[in-house]
Amino acid sequence: MTNSIAINGATIVAENNTFKKGSLYIENDIISSVHSNQTDASPHTLEINLPESYTVLPGFIDVHIHGAGGADMMDATPNSLSTISSYLVKEGTTSFLATTITHDSEKISEALENAANYIYKEQTNASLIGIHLEGPFINSKRAGAQPINHIKVPSLQTFVNWVKKSNQTIKLVTLAPEMDGGLELTSYIANKNIVASIGHSDASNEEVLSAIKVGATHITHLYNGMRGFHHREPGVAGTALSESKLFVELIADGIHVHPNILKATYLAKKADRIVLITDSIRAKWLEEGQYELGGQLVHYYQGKAVLENGALAGSVLKMNEAVHNMIQFSGCSIEEASMMASQNPAKQLGIFHKVGSISAGKDADITILNENYQVIMTICKGKIVHDARSDFHENY
Q: Which residues are annotated as a binding site for substrate?
A: 145, 224-225, 232, 256, 312-314
How many CA atoms does the CB half-sphere of 80 hold within 13 Å? 20
- Give the residue ranges of the annotated binding site for Zn(2+): 134, 200, 221
Q: Which residues are annotated as a binding site?
A: 134, 145, 200, 221, 224-225, 232, 256, 312-314
CA 297, 301, 303, 304 torsion: positive or negative? negative
- Could you tell me whether strands 4-8 and 23-27 are parallel, antiparallel, or unpaired per DSSP bridges? antiparallel
DSSP-assigned states of every residue in 128-170? EEEEEEE-SSS-GGG-TTS-GGG-----HHHHHHHHHHTTT-E
Please enumerate in sequence order all residues whose Cβ is within 8 A of that of 313, keeping only pairs 6 or more positions apart, or say none.
Answer: 145, 281, 293, 296, 298, 305, 306, 307
Catalytic residue check, 180: no
DSSP 158-204: HHHHHHHHTTT-EEEEEE-TTSTTHHHHHHHHHHTT-EEEE-SB---
Active-site residue, from 62, 279, 363, 365: 279
Taking CA atoms, 17 is separated from 12, 20, 126, 256, in Å, by: 8, 10, 26, 33
User: What are the φ/ψ torsions at residue 195 (nearest 5 degrees)?
Assistant: -70, 120
3-class SS of residue 40:
coil
Show which residues are catalytic.
Answer: 279
